[in-house]
Amino acid sequence: MGVSRQQAAENRNAIVAAAERLFRVRGVEAVGLTELMKEAGFTQGGFYNHFRSKDALVAAVMEKAMHDYADSPNAGSVEKQAARYLSAAHRDNIEAGCPLSGFAGDAPRMTDAARASYAHGLAVYLDRLANMVARDGATPEQTRREAIATFNQMVGALVLSRAIAGADPAFADEILDAGRRTLVDALDDPVTPDSGRHGSSDI
């Protein structure tokens, strides 16, 4: 007896969810279909009832991850966003953290469809961040540039902290703290190419 359309859709969603968890933790190339389907609670033979190929699954995962992230609650301010993004809790939550940093290493090797989803997700997030960093008198170009630079710093600090968290937890925390403080200092400075740093504040 076949499964209903609703059950088939639920099974497909379970496979996508399992794939997203494994891809985030292990990387796309390191996850095989046998392991993936076992994680989802199915046999490997059922995979092709839902996807033509692993590439098709990767595209579905990226589309879901970016859609979910776009719909996530707005932090309200860039200071609050930095505090959440550059926190130990976010760093350690690889399975459900920011997909833009989580999939950054895999994205260049993905298919066109998956990369397009990633690029769209990045564009949507930068638009949101631009609204947070916008200053009175700044041009749209200046605001976008500042949003990109801010996110560059956030992702860089998060990735480096994750890279050494297991080997040197104190150093990993120091990287997050420096990232947060530097971002706050930058937001206190005027938008000029040679702006200096002054003061600091805790988030």
CA distances, 68 to each of 25, 47, 100, 170 (Å): 18, 23, 12, 32
Helices (H) and strands (E) in the chain, counts: 9, 0
pLDDT in tens, 107-124: 999 999 999 999 999 999
Q: Mean of the pLDDT values across residues 29-34?
A: 94
| Residue predicted with more confidence, 6 or 2 | 6
Taking the CA atoms of 35, 14, 27 and 110 in sequence, report the sign of the dihedral they define: positive
Q: In whole angstroms, what is the distance from residue 149 CA to residue 44 CA?
A: 43
pLDDT in tens, 139-169: 999 999 999 999 999 999 999 999 999 999 9
pLDDT in tens, 40-77: 999 888 999 999 999 999 999 999 999 999 888 776 78
Half-sphere exposure of 128 (CA within 13 A, CB side): 18
- 66-188 domain in CATH 1.10.357.10? yes
Average pLDDT, the chain: 89
CATH tag for 5-51 (out of 3.60.40.10, 1.20.1050.10, 3.40.50.720, 1.10.10.60): 1.10.10.60
List, by residue range, all CATH 1.10.10.60 domains of the chain. 5-51
pLDDT band at 198 (very low <50, low <70, confident <90, very high): very low
pLDDT in tens, 79-92: 999 999 999 999 99
Global pTM value: 0.84
Residues 6+ apart with CB under 8 A from 5: none
